[in-house]
A and B are shown apart, each in its own frame.
Chain A
Amino acid sequence: GAVVSQHPSRVICKSGTSVKIECRSLDFQATTMFWYRQFPKQSLMLMATSNEGSKATYEQGVEKDKFLINHASLTLSTLTVTSAHPEDSSFYICSASPFGGSTDTQYFGPGTRLTVL
């Protein structure tokens, strides 16, 4: 079955540093990937839609200069949390939609837990 990986799975950083999270589709190509954020005991909130070769589309309230998204290839999207602060501590999950299909199923990565001290 389709597999999406995320790296790292867990990261702890100091306030003010930047953290890059990778989302890879391992056995399929994805023109579109999605980034979600989940705070403790809450649901997943869509942050942005990442399209290969073009700028990401951000949801209302999500700062594009703080959460930089790069979708440079059909198998990789990266989310960089710039100048991270404790309030950015969260569980970040990506999903990928296979290229060329009208598939209804998105494939989710295992998530990255970010803790900002």
Chain B
Amino acid sequence: SQQGEEDPQALSIQEGENATMNCSYKTSINNLQWYRQNSGRGLVHLILIRSNEREKHSGRLRVTLDTSKKSSSLLITASRAADTASYFCATDAQAGTALIFGKGTTLSVSS
């Protein structure tokens, strides 16, 4: 089963612009993670935010988590063409259990 929704489903921007993707989930979580997947390829782990954290940064990535609203956002600043990919959020109920993925956002960055 899928945990939640991401929006938008698709996002097209120009290089240099910021991209914001949102994720909502339904049940309580241990942590929330974001992954990137290039077309036809495997997953690349981007960032993990724990349920007791509200914001986390990693390079050009900024993730927020609002457990009261059961939502998270991923911000990619100064986007590049190489950021073109699908982005998924994933949650787990506790450490070591299966990840439940959202439906994903397809990001297209044009140069």
> Is A103 a contact partner of B96 (Cβ separation < 8 A)?
yes
The complex places the Cα of A105 from the Cα of B95 at a distance, in Å, of 8
> Is A43 a contact partner of B1 (Cβ separation < 8 A)?
no
> Is A60 a contact partner of B96 (Cβ separation < 8 A)?
no
> Is B2 a contact partner of A49 (Cβ separation < 8 A)?
no
Given A46-B100, A104-B48 in contact, is the A111-B41 Cβ separation under 8 Å?
yes
Report, as a range, how many residues of chain B touch the other chain.
20 to 34
> Is A104 a contact partner of B88 (Cβ separation < 8 A)?
no
The complex places the Cα of A42 from the Cα of B98 at a distance, in Å, of 18
> Is A59 a contact partner of B1 (Cβ separation < 8 A)?
yes
A interface residues, tally (CB under 8 Å): 26
Q: Return A6 CB to nearest CB of chain B, in Å.
A: 9
Chain B interface residues (CB < 8 Å from chain A): 1-2, 30-31, 33, 40-43, 45, 48, 50, 88, 90, 92, 95-96, 98-104
Chain A interface residues (CB < 8 Å from chain B): 32, 34, 36, 42-46, 49, 59-60, 91, 93, 95, 97, 101-106, 108-111, 113
